[in-house]
C-alpha cells in the first residue's frame, strides 16, 4: 500500500503541465513551410540540371522502320480446313441420300418415322409435380429472370 502511494507521488511529481506559447502552432507551421520551400528549391534545381533530351528529327521514322523489319506477319489459318469441311458436307449428304434410298416406299418410311417418334416420346416423357405446372410458378420464374437480367444490365451500364 505504501509502495503504491510512493508510485502515485512519483508519477504526480513527474507530470508537469507544459505551458506553451499562444503562437506555438504558428511557429511549427512556419518551420514546416520553410522545409517545404527548401525541398522545392532543391527539386527545381535538380530538374533543371537534368533536362530531357530532344530526339532527332527522324527518330519516329527510324523506330517504325526497325519495328516493321522485325515484325512477323501471321496468316490466318482456320482450325478446320476447307478440305475437311468438304469431307463433312459430303458425308452428311451421303447419309441423307442413304436414308432416303433405304426407306424408299412411303408406307414403310412413315411407319419407321412414327415408330421412332413414339420411342423418343416415351424416352423423354415424365410428369411434373403440380407446383411446377401452376401459372403462379411460371410468373414468378419470369419475374425473377427479368429482375436478374435488369440487374446484370444495370451493372454493365453502371446506371445503378
pLDDT tens digits, 135-159: 898 899 999 999 998 888 888 776 5
pLDDT tens, residue by residue, 8-18:
777 777 666 66
- Whether residues 133 and 119 share a domain: the answer is no
pLDDT above 80: residue 114: no
Look at residues 117, 112, 90 and name the one whose alpha carbon lies nearest to residue 100: 112
153 within some domain? yes
Q: Is the pTM of this model over 0.85?
A: no
- Whether residues 117 and 155 share a domain: the answer is no
- Whether residues 120 and 135 share a domain: the answer is no
pLDDT tens, residue by residue, 17-57:
666 777 888 888 999 999 999 999 999 888 888 777 777 88
41 within some domain? no
- Whether residues 122 and 138 share a domain: the answer is no
pLDDT tens, residue by residue, 79-101:
888 899 999 999 999 888 777 77
- Whether residues 122 and 140 share a domain: the answer is no
Query: CA–CA separation, 137 vs 132, rounded Å?
Result: 6
| Count of structural domains, the chain | 2
Q: How high is the mean pLDDT of the chain?
A: 79
Interval 50-67 mean pLDDT: 81
What is the share, in percent, of the chain residues with pLDDT greater than 70?
Answer: 78
46 within some domain? no
- Whether residues 104 and 140 share a domain: the answer is no
Q: Are 154 and 160 in contact (CB under 8 A)?
A: yes
86 within some domain? yes
Interval 72-82 mean pLDDT: 80
67 within some domain? no
6 within some domain? no
- Whether residues 86 and 117 share a domain: the answer is yes
At residue 67, the pLDDT reads 79
At residue 105, the pLDDT reads 52
At residue 24, the pLDDT reads 82
Query: CA–CA separation, 145 vs 141, rounded Å?
Result: 6
- Whether residues 84 and 115 share a domain: the answer is yes
28 within some domain? no
Q: Are 103 and 109 in contact (CB under 8 A)?
A: yes
106 within some domain? yes
- Whether residues 117 and 146 share a domain: the answer is no
- Whether residues 144 and 157 share a domain: the answer is yes
- Whether residues 120 and 86 share a domain: the answer is yes
Q: What is the extent of the structural domain holding 159?
A: 128-160
At residue 160, the pLDDT reads 45
Query: CA–CA separation, 159 vs 144, rounded Å?
Result: 20
Q: Are 132 and 140 in contact (CB under 8 A)?
A: no
- Whether residues 120 and 138 share a domain: the answer is no
Amino acid at each position: 500500500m505504501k509502495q503504491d502511494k510512493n508510485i502515485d507521488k512519483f508519477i504526480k511529481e513527474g507530470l508537469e503541465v507544459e505551458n506553451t506559447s499562444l503562437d506555438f502552432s504558428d511557429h511549427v507551421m512556419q518551420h514546416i513551410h520553410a522545409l517545404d520551400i527548401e525541398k522545392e528549391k532543391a527539386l527545381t534545381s535538380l530538374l533543371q540540371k537534368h533536362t530531357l533530351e530532344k530526339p532527332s528529327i527522324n527518330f519516329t521514322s527510324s523506330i517504325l522502320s526497325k519495328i516493321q523489319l522485325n515484325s512477323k506477319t501471321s496468316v490466318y489459318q482456320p482450325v478446320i480446313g476447307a478440305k475437311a469441311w468438304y469431307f463433312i458436307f459430303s458425308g452428311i449428304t451421303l447419309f441423307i441420300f442413304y436414308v432416303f434410298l433405304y426407306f424408299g416406299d412411303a408406307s414403310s418410311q412413315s411407319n419407321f418415322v412414327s415408330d421412332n417418334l413414339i420411342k423418343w416420346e416415351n424416352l423423354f416423357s415424365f410428369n411434373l409435380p403440380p407446383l411446377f405446372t401452376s401459372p403462379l410458378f411460371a410468373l414468378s420464374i419470369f419475374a425473377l429472370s427479368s429482375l436478374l437480367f435488369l440487374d446484370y444490365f444495370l451493372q454493365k451500364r453502371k446506371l445503378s
